[in-house]
Amino acid sequence: MRYLTVFLLCFFFPPLGGFASVRAFDFLEATHLVDLRQGSSLSARVSGLQKYSYESAYGLTLPVGRWYATHWVDVQVSFLTQINRDLGVIWGVSTGEKGEKYAIAPSFKLGLLYGIRSWGKGRLTIKAYHVFSGALREKTCSADYGEIAGVREVNCRLAASPMAPEETLRFNFNEKPEDRNFISIEYRKEF
């Protein structure tokens, strides 16, 4: 707790600590943008559903596009903060995304990049990271099956299918990001 207090004093009151501005400058100098993108595999999966429709019990074709439309597509940004010549910290965030019948949670990425110089002019690089959160969850719909089954909770996309309403619920999206765990080992040698 004592170290946290000293850090906060130095950061918020530079005249008292003196080195806070140097620390902040070093951090900014050592941090590099490595990736900036809008959309993800989960975003693409959901946006692909906008063109579908289903047929109601009255024979009307009803589009599902508005359920899977969004005003903000998930944005992901990643940085590399270089600790020393051989070690760096990979970190990043994503904003998440929401539609009427789904949500992609915001996420946080954390990992390491480590390089080993060896074998003459060769370099072995190990990169690994994990993405925390960022899951896609789909909401259910209430469907009226008339006097036979009444109003039931159902997967929105499969409400008009021949499956029983409770069977359709297992097809609701409940997925983590595909790239949530990543590791790569690369060896480069100059000739």
Report the pLDDT value the prediction gives residue 4, as an integer from 0 to 100: 41
Q: What is the pLDDT of residue 20?
A: 47
Residue ranges in the chain modelled with pLDDT below 50: 1-23, 25
Run of H or E residues at 15: helix 14-17
**Would you state the pLDDT for residue 33?**
96
Which one-letter DSSP state was computed for residue 120?
T
**DSSP assigned state of 58:** T
63-95 pLDDT, tens digit each: 888 899 999 999 999 999 999 889 999 999 999
pTM: 0.77
